[in-house]
């Protein structure tokens, strides 16, 4: 089990503050540059779709964003585990939910916080907003009001209304239970189920399971006052009464005896080891209380090795995570212009999730989680970063909606629909997730060379607190303490290991090593002493060279070329033909690697081939199959130019070397990246858009990267230094603390190795 992530208040606030307040923004999806564009977007052009929609309301799905827009709506009466914080304080959570819709299913979403606890007022407000949206996701509304609100809105509105706290948990719980019962050889109609927690999520779970075949008399529901039995009057309401059964059982402990399944949406510690011991053979325990489960997997397995255990936590196997459900339920519902999300669609979602978990897990998922996942007791629910979710779950939901008559616009070509969904998947987040998981598995002792910079210190703290390994900070102890305190991280002073020339016992060893390297390059002993004891970049490199750390990140306070020169005192970089800097550009769901952005000033065709090999190596390290393009201002020999000659010759060098990846050139950037333009050159060896671009010189690489970063808003990771025998990464002077952390993770994963 991975160590739980520690996040400080300061880190959380900084995340929501920078680079701009909040987590979402709105961008125009059409051209808005000229007067003609504005005339089409607004007056007079906008009148045409307005009149069309007035005549045929269904056309709103064609001419507006309605068909891909969900409102996340709350009144803040049950915010996460924090209780009634009110509408305004719930906004960060609702923004977060909107981000998840976009990230996992490419559903546009906007958060709306309603400042009322009155059910009728809430319902009236949401009902009036119906024309704006294709669906309504209710969130963090306390029970029993949430039941009344959802019921009334479903009755009044002709678009899907879905309370995720109820049904999202129920769907994922049902998916896990399908597989748990499959493993234990039991049938849902035969098992005895105990539910503890009769709130919104609990009641939704038991209702969905009953609709899937669980028998009413076999389901025992408990709340804080014990078993809900027929005739009980204390603490009851109409929703609890619907699940009361005839029984003499009165306590959770009594109910657990001989039970096959426990579902917990209650509180930490509600289940004891003794209760687990009393359960039937091969018990299924879904302890879903957050942040701490009713019983931990360790505690359950200590008394019942045959138990199948799931929790709501990401640091245990079998996480019941709502993000597996709601984005894909809405994706399928929106794409058929559904009037509602019914039980059949929820069951279809659960069954599709269960079936997906039984399939072989692709390598990119294993890479993202740092381990191979195989269907069994510790893997009964798919993981949130499984790229198949987007093209497996929505088609199942859409098909169920079509079969049950809630679809306004049925999907005719279901295989084509699945393909279109796969194309919407954003690979960038899963790649970053993969780097993170591999770094956590590596547990590298990471050297942060610039302990005098607050960004580096925040990155070092995040590296250690997120469980990636030990952070070693090069700097003066007093200075590090002062800067950490100023950054709101005073409690981290005792956690980080601060290293410098004054407190290491290895300084003389470092100096002897450096003198041996530089004595014939004009350096005397005094020069060596100054370099080793006063320059943090050199000192950090010496630490790494002597295996006193397992990775190094630097460059946040020095220009990359200067940092490279200092590192070259310790590692042969500039004279190493294999050393190459590759920068990753992440933009609108695409990843392109650019080289060389760091080492080779004016490469010849041999160097260019080496850069291509480095780019391909990095691509594979990130889980991508490389397609390399040698880019220039000319395409396959036209226009003729002496400056393009080496780009024309470089593919031939790769051919002589027997390169085992796709490559082609020379070509312009649009030929490399745009399939429609590339189609004019059917002889090209590239089977798709290039993901590794090799450019003529370092200056053109630098210009391209910075232009994409500043004009297009691309996320930049790198340059990733590859080809040297130690994991060293050089950040840029404009790096944020997150950028520095990403470079540390690359070093930990040895992506450039």
* CATH number, domain containing residue 600: 3.40.50.10750
For residues 481 and 359, membership in a common domain is answered with no
Residue 430 is predicted with a pLDDT of: 66
Q: Higher model confidence: residue 270 or residue 561?
A: 270
**Segments in 470-535 forming alpha helices (H):** 477-486, 507-518, 525-534
Cβ neighbourhood burial of 303 (10 Å; 0-12, 13-18, 19+): middle
Question: How many angstroms separate the CA atoms of 525 and 475, rounded?
Answer: 23
- Ranked by mean pLDDT, which of 354-368, 395-409, 590-604, 728-742 comes out on top? 395-409
Q: If you search the block for the tokens 């090799």, which residue do you land on?
A: 694
User: Could you tell me the CA-to-CA distances from 657 to 556, 664, 697 in Å, in that order?
Assistant: 37, 14, 22
Radius of gyration of the chain (CA): 29
Residue 9 is predicted with a pLDDT of: 82
Longest dimension (CA), the chain: 95
Taking each helix axis as running N to C, give the angle between helix 164-184 and helix 343-358, from 0 to 180 degrees, rounded to the nearest 10: 40
Taking each helix axis as running N to C, give the angle between helix 326-335 and helix 91-105, from 0 to 180 degrees, rounded to the nearest 10: 60
User: Residues 303-323: pLDDT tens digits?
Assistant: 999 999 999 988 899 999 999
Q: Higher model confidence: residue 69 or residue 438?
A: 69
For residues 129 and 202, membership in a common domain is answered with no
pLDDT bucket at 371, cuts 50 / 70 / 90? low
101-110, 183-192, 354-363, 531-540: segment of lowest average pLDDT: 354-363
Cβ contact 680:670 at 8 Å? no
* Residue 4 covered by a domain: no
pLDDT bucket at 7, cuts 50 / 70 / 90? confident
pLDDT, averaged across the chain: 92
Question: What is the Cβ-side half-sphere exposure of residue 63, based on CA atoms within 13 angstroms?
Answer: 17
Which residue positions form the known binding site? 79-86, 139-140, 165, 290
3 state SS of 69: strand
Residue 708: which of 556, 580, 587 has the closest Cα? 587
Residues 6+ apart with CB under 8 A from 237: 144
The answer to pTM > 0.85 is: no
User: Could you tell me the CA-to-CA distances from 510 to 163, 452, 551, 747 in Å, in that order?
Assistant: 62, 22, 17, 22
Question: How many angstroms separate the CA atoms of 398 and 349, rounded?
Answer: 10
Residue 387 is predicted with a pLDDT of: 83
Cβ contact 106:331 at 8 Å? yes
* Residue 753 covered by a domain: no
Q: Which tokens in the block code for residue 357?
A: 């978990």
Q: Which of 422, 447, 475 is the last residue of a domain?
A: 422
Residue 373 is predicted with a pLDDT of: 81
Question: How many angstroms separate the CA atoms of 393 and 538, rounded?
Answer: 52
For residues 331 and 397, membership in a common domain is answered with yes
97 annotated active-site: yes
Question: How many angstroms separate the CA atoms of 90 and 67, rounded?
Answer: 26
Check pLDDT > 50 for residue 3: no
Check pLDDT > 70 for residue 42: yes
For residues 476 and 505, membership in a common domain is answered with yes
Number of domains in the chain: 4
Cβ contact 538:532 at 8 Å? yes
* Residue 166 covered by a domain: no
Q: Which tokens in the block code for residue 289?
A: 């209380």
* Residue 11 covered by a domain: no
Q: Which tokens in the block code for residue 46?
A: 């906008």
Catalytic residue among 66, 91, 97, 192: 97
User: Could you tell me the CA-to-CA distances from 714 to 455, 707, 747 in Å, in that order?
Assistant: 21, 9, 22
- Strand bridging mode 497-499 / 590-595: unpaired
Question: How many angstroms separate the CA atoms of 374 and 377, rounded?
Answer: 9
- Give the percent of the chain with pLDDT over 70: 97
Question: How many angstroms separate the CA atoms of 629 and 687, rounded?
Answer: 11
For residues 394 and 498, membership in a common domain is answered with no
Residue 223: which of 173, 283, 265 has the closest Cα? 265
- Give the percent of the chain with pLDDT over 90: 74
Q: Which tokens in the block code for residue 722?
A: 């590859």
Residue 581: which of 698, 691, 715, 703 has the closest Cα? 698
Cβ contact 394:331 at 8 Å? yes
Q: Which of 541, 569, 597 is the last residue of a domain?
A: 569
Question: How many angstroms separate the CA atoms of 414 and 398, rounded?
Answer: 9
State which H helix or E strand residue 583 sits in. Answer: strand 580-587
For residues 220 and 311, membership in a common domain is answered with yes
Which residue positions form the known binding site for a divalent metal cation? 139-140, 165, 290
* Residue 75 covered by a domain: yes
Cα 68 versus chain centre, distance: 21
Question: How many angstroms separate the CA atoms of 169 and 263, rounded?
Answer: 11
Question: How many angstroms separate the CA atoms of 307 and 303, rounded?
Answer: 9
Buried b or exposed e, range 464-496, using 16+ CB within 10 angstroms? bbbbbbbbbbbbebeebbebbeebebeebeeeb
For residues 353 and 441, membership in a common domain is answered with no
CA angle 599, 430, 180 (to 5 degrees): 150
pLDDT (average), residues 15-23: 86
User: Residues 445-477: pLDDT tens digits?
Assistant: 999 999 999 999 999 998 998 889 999 999 999
* Residue 713 covered by a domain: yes
Residue 277 is predicted with a pLDDT of: 97
Question: How many angstroms separate the CA atoms of 239 and 198, rounded?
Answer: 9
CATH of the domain at 142: 3.40.50.10380
- Ranked by mean pLDDT, which of 104-108, 254-258, 373-377, 567-571 comes out on top? 254-258
Q: Higher model confidence: residue 385 or residue 664?
A: 664
For residues 258 and 281, membership in a common domain is answered with yes
Taking each helix axis as running N to C, give the angle between helix 427-442 and helix 737-749, from 0 to 180 degrees, rounded to the nearest 10: 60
Question: How many angstroms separate the CA atoms of 689 and 695, rounded?
Answer: 16
Cβ contact 319:311 at 8 Å? yes
CATH of the domain at 418: 3.40.50.720
pLDDT (average), residues 246-268: 96
Q: Which of 159, 177, 208 is the last residue of a domain?
A: 159
Cβ contact 430:624 at 8 Å? no
User: Could you tell me the CA-to-CA distances from 137 to 67, 114, 321 in Å, in that order?
Assistant: 14, 13, 16
For residues 313 and 361, membership in a common domain is answered with yes
State which H helix or E strand residue 136 sits in. Answer: strand 135-138
Which residue positions form the known binding site for NADP(+)? 79-86
Cβ contact 319:380 at 8 Å? no
* Residue 455 covered by a domain: yes
For residues 519 and 613, membership in a common domain is answered with no
Residue 368 is predicted with a pLDDT of: 60
Q: If you search the block for the tokens 């370099």, which residue do you land on?
A: 531
Residues 6+ apart with CB under 8 A from 518: 527, 528, 569
State which H helix or E strand residue 276 sits in. Answer: helix 273-277
Check pLDDT > 90 for residue 394: yes
Q: Which domain holds residue 636?
A: 580-723
Listing DSSP states for 427-475 in one string gives: HHHHHHHHHHHHHHHHT--EEES-TTSHHHHHHHHHHHHTTS--EEEES
User: Residues 24-39: pLDDT tens digits?
Assistant: 888 888 888 899 999 9
Residues 6+ apart with CB under 8 A from 308: 180, 183, 184, 282, 283, 284, 285, 318, 377, 380
State which H helix or E strand residue 551 sits in. Answer: strand 551-554
Question: How many angstroms separate the CA atoms of 642 and 363, rounded?
Answer: 44
Q: Which tokens in the block code for residue 127?
A: 């009902």
pLDDT bucket at 364, cuts 50 / 70 / 90? low
For residues 198 and 250, membership in a common domain is answered with yes
**611-615-616-620 Cα dihedral, nearest 10 degrees:** 150
Residue 195: which of 232, 161, 169 has the closest Cα? 169
For residues 407 and 447, membership in a common domain is answered with no
Residue 426 is predicted with a pLDDT of: 63
Cα 138 versus chain centre, distance: 23
User: Residues 613-644: pLDDT tens digits?
Assistant: 999 999 988 878 999 999 999 999 888 787 78
Prior bond to 719 cis, omega within 30? yes
Question: How many angstroms separate the CA atoms of 361 and 377, rounded?
Answer: 15
* Residue 200 covered by a domain: yes
State which H helix or E strand residue 221 sits in. Answer: strand 219-223
Residue 752 is predicted with a pLDDT of: 65
pLDDT bucket at 427, cuts 50 / 70 / 90? low
CATH of the domain at 560: 3.40.50.10950
User: Could you tell me the CA-to-CA distances from 661 to 518, 620, 678 in Å, in that order?
Assistant: 39, 10, 18
pLDDT (average), residues 144-172: 96
């Amino acid at each position: 089990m991975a160590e739980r992530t520690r996040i400080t208040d300061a880190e959380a606030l900084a995340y929501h503050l920078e680079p701009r307040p909040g987590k979402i923004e709105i961008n125009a999806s059409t051209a808005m540059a000229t007067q003609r564009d504005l005339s089409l977007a607004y007056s007079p052009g906008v009148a045409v779709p307005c009149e069309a929609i007035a005549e045929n309301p269904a056309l709103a799905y064609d001419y507006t964003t309605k068909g891909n827009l969900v409102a996340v709506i709350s009144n803040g009466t049950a915010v996460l585990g924090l209780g009634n914080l009110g509408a305004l304080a719930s906004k960060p959570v609702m923004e977060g939910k909107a981000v998840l819709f976009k990230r996992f299913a490419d559903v546009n979403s906007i958060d709306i916080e309603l400042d009322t606890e009155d059910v009728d007022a809430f319902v009236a407000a949401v009902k009036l907003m119906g024309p704006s949206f294709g669906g309504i996701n209710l969130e963090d509304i306390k029970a029993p009001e949430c039941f009344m609100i959802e019921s009334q809105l479903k009755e009044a509105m002709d678009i899907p209304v879905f309370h995720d706290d109820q049904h999202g948990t129920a769907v994922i719980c049902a998916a896990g239970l399908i597989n748990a019962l499959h493993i234990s050889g039991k049938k849902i109609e035969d098992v005895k189920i105990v539910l503890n927690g009769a709130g919104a999520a609990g009641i939704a779970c038991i209702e969905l399971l009953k609709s899937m075949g669980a028998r009413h008399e076999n389901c025992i529901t408990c709340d804080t006052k014990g078993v809900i039995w027929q005739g009980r009057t204390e603490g009851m309401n109409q929703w609890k009464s619907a699940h009361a059964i005839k029984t003499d059982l009165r306590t959770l402990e009594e109910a657990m005896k001989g039970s096959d399944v426990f579902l917990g949406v209650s509180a930490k510690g509600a289940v004891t080891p003794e209760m687990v011991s009393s359960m039937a053979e091969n018990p299924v325990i879904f302890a879903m209380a957050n942040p701490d489960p009713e019983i931990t997997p360790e505690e359950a397995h200590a008394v019942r090795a045959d138990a199948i255990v799931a929790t709501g936590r990401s640091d245990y196997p079998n996480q019941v995570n709502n993000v597996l459900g709601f984005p894909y339920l809405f994706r399928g519902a929106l794409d058929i212009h559904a009037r509602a999300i019914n039980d059949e669609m929820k069951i279809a979602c659960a069954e599709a999730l269960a079936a997906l978990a039984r399939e072989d897990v692709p390598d990119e998922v294993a890479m993202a989680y740092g381990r191979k996942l195989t269907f069994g007791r510790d893997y009964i629910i798919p993981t949130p970063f499984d790229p198949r979710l987007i093209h497996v779950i929505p088609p199942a939901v859409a098909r169920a909606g079509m079969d049950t008559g809630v679809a306004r616009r049925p999907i005719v070509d279901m295989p084509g629909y699945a393909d279109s969904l796969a194309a919407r998947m954003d690979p960038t987040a899963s790649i970053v997730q993969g780097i993170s998981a591999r770094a956590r598995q590596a547990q590298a002792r990471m050297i942060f060379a610039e302990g005098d910079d607050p960004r580096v210190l925040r990155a070092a703290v995040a590296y250690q607190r997120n469980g990636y390994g030990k952070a070693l900070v090069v700097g003066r102890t007093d200075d590090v303490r002062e800067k950490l305190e100023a950054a709101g991280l005073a409690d981290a002073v005792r956690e980080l290991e601060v290293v410098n020339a004054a407190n290491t016992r290895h300084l003389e060893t470092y100096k002897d090593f450096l003198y041996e390297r530089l004595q014939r390059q004009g350096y005397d002993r005094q020069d060596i002493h100054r370099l080793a004891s006063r320059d943090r970049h050199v000192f950090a490199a010496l630490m790494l060279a002597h295996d006193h750390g397992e990775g190094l990140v630097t460059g946040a306070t020095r220009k990359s070329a200067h940092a490279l020169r200092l590192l070259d005192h310790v590692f042969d970089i500039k004279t190493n033909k294999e050393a190459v800097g590759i920068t990753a550009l992440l933009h609108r769901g695409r990843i392109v690697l650019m080289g060389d952005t760091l080492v080779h000033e004016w490469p010849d065709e041999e160097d260019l081939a080496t850069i291509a090999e480095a780019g391909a190596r990095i691509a594979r390290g990130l889980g991508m199959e490389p397609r390399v393009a040698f880019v220039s201002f000319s395409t396959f020999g036209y226009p003729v130019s002496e400056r393009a000659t080496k780009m024309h010759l470089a593919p031939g060098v790769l051919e002589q070397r027997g390169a085992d990846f796709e490559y082609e050139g020379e070509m312009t950037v649009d030929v490399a990246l745009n399939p429609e333009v590339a189609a004019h050159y059917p002889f090209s060896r590239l089977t798709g858009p290039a993901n590794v671009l090799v450019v003529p010189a370092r200056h053109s690489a630098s210009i391209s990267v910075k232009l994409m970063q500043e004009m297009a808003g691309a996320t930049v990771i790198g340059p990733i230094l590859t080809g040297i025998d130690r994991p060293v990464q050089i950040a840029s002077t404009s790096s944020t603390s997150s950028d520095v952390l990403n470079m540390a993770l690359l070093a930990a994963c040895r992506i450039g190795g």
